[in-house]
Structures are given as C-alpha cells and as structure tokens.
C-alpha cells in the first residue's frame, strides 16, 4: 500500500493557534479549577502543548475511545477503552479533542461525562470537518476548520503511523484521496 502525505497546516500555524486558544482559555477560566480531559490517542500532543501554554493552574486526565480501527472512516460506534481516573463532580471540564468529524464521539463523551456531575463541560478541538458532521456539537475553542480529507500528524494517526509529524497533513492512499 502506497501512502503519501501532503502538508495542510504548517507547524508554525499550529503553534500560534495553540497559544491563541490557551490565552482565551486562561482568561475564561481565571480563578476556576479547570480539568483538561484529553481524548486518546489523537489529542495527546495538542493537550500537552495547550496545557504548557495556559497561564492558569490546571490538571489533566485522559479518556480513550475507539471508533476508527484501521479504517479512514469512523465506524460510528463509539466505545470507551479507558475511562478517566479522577473525580470531576463540581469541576469545570475542558474536553480536548484532536478532530471533530461526525460529532458522534463528542456527543457520546459529553453524555458519559455529564453522568459524573461536572460543573461545566466545554469543548476544545484542534480541527473541525463541518462537511462530515452528523450532529452539531458546539465547539467552544476551535483551532482550524479543514476540508473533508483524512488528516495525520501532530498526534493524529493513520493505522498508528504519522503521529510524529510536527504539522497536519492529509493522506492519499494508492493515489486516491
């Protein structure tokens, strides 16, 4: 199988956008107890950079879900592989996602986390693909809107490959997008 990667969002643009998002979040959550919950595995690089750019105290946890497998299309079936480990009752939660595709994963996670009675849940996503939405999820902090291409890099993978890229690229497999 021949996979080619084409650059979509340069590393410098990502760094600038992460700083901008962190500044807004720091302002909005000043004097609040913020917990960032990263959605694994794709959001771990974004969450780490975002947290390092915050100017407020915060803590983090992770939740691991599965909906893709080895495909470039979401199966639409979301399952929690590993749940958060810290209590979030009466806490402000920022769910940190790499990419909003159909919206089904985020809807599932919001419903799941709401059962744990947080004070608030907001969404921070690096990327959004509006063309693919099956349901609309409000994204409180958004990095970039992208076209309907399968993206990799900056923590996002295709079959566990390409997470290491410092930029966001899109892939073509065997010459087809």
Residue reference for tokens 């399968």: 150
61 belongs to the catalytic site:
no
Q: Given 49, 92, 98, 101, which residue is catalytic?
A: 101
DSSP secondary-structure letter at 30?
T
Look at residues 52, 59, 45, 61 and name the one whose alpha carbon lies nearest to residue 22.
Answer: 52
Burial state string for 90-99 with b = 16 or more CB within 10 A and e = fewer than 16: ebbbbbbbbb
The burial of 110, by beta-carbon neighbours within 10 Å (0-12 exposed, 13-18 middle, 19 or more buried), is given as middle
**Phi and psi dihedrals of 108, rounded to 5?**
-60, -45
- Helix 11-28 × helix 44-53 angle, to 10°: 60
CA distance 25 to 127: 17
Q: Looking at the annotation, which residues are catalytic?
A: 101
């Amino acid at each position: 199988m021949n996979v080619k990667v084409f650059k979509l969002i340069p590393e410098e643009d990502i760094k600038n956008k992460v700083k901008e998002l962190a500044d807004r979040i720091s302002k909005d959550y000043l004097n609040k107890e913020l917990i960032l919950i990263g959605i694994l595995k794709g959001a771990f690089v974004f969450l780490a950079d975002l947290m390092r750019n915050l100017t407020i105290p915060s803590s983090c946890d992770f939740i691991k879900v599965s909906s893709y497998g080895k495909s470039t299309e979401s199966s639409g079936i979301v399952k929690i592989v590993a749940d958060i480990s810290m209590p979030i009752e009466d806490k402000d939660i920022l769910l940190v996602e790499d990419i909003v595709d159909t919206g089904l994963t985020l809807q599932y996670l919001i419903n799941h986390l709401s059962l744990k009675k947080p004070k608030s849940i907001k969404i921070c996503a690096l990327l959004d693909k509006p063309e693919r939405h099956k349901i609309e999820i409000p994204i409180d902090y958004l990095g970039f809107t992208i076209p309907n291409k399968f993206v990799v890099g900056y923590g996002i993978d295709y079959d566990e490959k390409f997470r290491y890229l410092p930029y966001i690229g899109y892939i073509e497999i065997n010459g087809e997008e």
